[in-house]
Structure 1
Amino acid sequence: MSYDDILNSIGGWGKYQKWICLLLTLSTIPNGYFTMILVFTSKTPEHRCRIPEIDGLHGENATLTPFNVSGLSEYIPWDSKNNRFDRCLRYNLTAKYGFNETQNTTGCDFGYVYDIVEGQLTAVTEWDLVCNYSYVKPRISSVFMAGVLFGSLICGVVADGFGRWPLMIASTYLQFIFMGLNIFNTSPAMYAAFMFFAGGCSLNNFVAAIVIGAEICDKKHRAFMETSAMIGFCVGYMVIPLFAYFILEWKTLFLVTAAIGVVYIPYWWLIPESPRWLITKNKFIKAKLLLKKIAKFNGVNEDIDTFFTDENLFLMSNDSEKEEKSISDSQGNEKCWTKIPYIQLFTHPGMISRTLYSCCSWFVIALTYYTLSLNTGNMGGNDYINCFVSACVEIPAYLSVYFLLRRKGRRTLMISYLLAGSAGCIITPLIMRVSDIGGIVTAMIGKFFVTSAFGLVYLYTAEMFPTVSRNQALGITSMFARFGSVIAPYIIYLGDTNGRELPYTIIGSFSLASALLNCLLPETAGTHLPDTYEEALEMKSGRCMNLRKRVRKHSDKELKEDDDTSSVFAA
Structure 2
Amino acid sequence: MDESPRWLAVTGRHERALKVLKKAARLNRRSLPGDEKVCTILRESKEEEPAKPRQGKTEIKVMIQEQLASLSILFRTPKLRRITLVLYGAYIIVNMSYYGLSLSGGNLSSDPFVFMVLSGLMEVPAYSLTVPIVAYFGRRLPTLFSFALSGVALLAIAPTPASYGWLVMTLAMAGKVCIASAYQILIFYSTELFPTEVRSRGVGTCFMVSRIGSIISPFINEILGSVYPWAPSAVFGATAFVASIVMLMLPETMGITLPESVAELESRETPSRKRSWLRVPTSEEKAQETRGSSEG
Q: Distance in 1 between matches of 2:119 and 2:181?
A: 13
The answer for unaligned runs of 5 or more in structure 1 is 13-217, 219-311, 313-318, 330-335, 558-571
Q: How many Å apart are 1:434 and its aligned residue?
A: 4.5
Is 1:352 matched up with 2:81? yes
Distance 1:541 1:391, change over 3 A: farther
CA distance in 2, matches of 1:367, 1:486: 8
The residue number in structure 1 matching 2:19 is 2
Structure with more contact order per residue of length (Cα contacts < 8 Å, sep ≥ 6) = 2
The aligned length equals: 245
Using the alignment, how far apart are the partners of 1:463 and 1:486 within structure 2?
Answer: 27
What root-mean-square deviation, in Å, do the aligned CA atoms of Structure 1 and Structure 2 show? Answer: 3.2
Deviations 1:411-462 (CA, angstroms, capped at 9, x unpaired): 1111111111111111012224351110110011011011001101112111
Which residue of the partner structure matches residue 447 of structure 1?
176
Shift of 1:349: 2.6
Q: Distance in 2 between matches of 1:454 and 1:323?
A: 36
- In structure 2, the partner of 1:552 is 282
User: Kindly tell me: are residues 477 and 542 of structure 1, through their superposed partners in 2, closer, same or farther at Cα, counting changes over 3 Å?
Assistant: farther
- Which is higher, the Rg of structure 1 or of structure 2? 1
Q: Is the 8 A contact 2:144 2:245 kept in 1?
A: yes
Do structure 1's residue 495 and structure 2's residue 224 form an aligned pair?
Answer: yes
1:187-207, Cα deviation, whole Å (9 max, x unpaired) = xxxxxxxxxxxxxxxxxxxxx
Q: Name 1:437's counterpart in structure 2.
A: 166
- Displacement of 1:350 in angstroms is 2.8
**Structure 1 residues 161-172: aligned runs within 5 Å:** none
- 2:158 alignment partner, SS class: helix
Equivalent residue, structure 2, for 1:417: 146
**Secondary structure at 2:152 match in 1:** helix
Q: Is the 8 A contact 2:140 2:250 kept in 1?
A: yes
Residues 457-499 of structure 1 deviation map (CA, whole Å, 9 limit, x = unaligned): 1121111111111111111111111111111101111233221
Q: Distance between the aligned counterparts of 1:455 and 1:542, measured in 2?
A: 28
2:92 counterpart residue number: 363
**SS state of the match for residue 342, structure 1?**
helix
**Aligned equivalents of 2:68 and 2:102: distance in 1?**
39
TM-score, with structure 2 as normaliser = 0.73
Q: 1:393 aligns with which of 81, 97, 122?
A: 122
- The equivalent position to 2:46 in structure 1, one of 312, 326, 338, is 326
Q: How does 1:443-522 map to 2 (within 5 A)?
A: 443-522=172-251
Deviations for 1:343-383, whole angstroms, at most 9, x for unmatched residues?
12112233222211110000000000000111123212322
Q: 2: distance between equivalents of 1:405 and 1:327?
A: 32
* Superposed CA offset, 1:521-555 (max 9, x none): 11111011101223323263797x94412123369
Structure 2 residue runs of 5 or longer lacking an equivalent are 1-17, 30-34, 50-64, 288-296
Superposition deviation, residue 501 in structure 1:
0.4
Deviation sequence 1:8-63 (CA, Å, 0-9, x none): 64x56xxxxxxxxxxxxxxxxxxxxxxxxxxxxxxxxxxxxxxxxxxxxxxxxxxx
Letter in 1 for 2:122: V
Preserved CA contact (<8 Å) 2:46 2:261: no
Contact 1:519 1:542 in 2 (8 A): no
**AA in 1 matched with 2:91:** W
Q: Deviations 1:266-315 (Å, cap 9, x if unpaired)?
A: xxxxxxxxxxxxxxxxxxxxxxxxxxxxxxxxxxxxxxxxxxxxxx9xxx
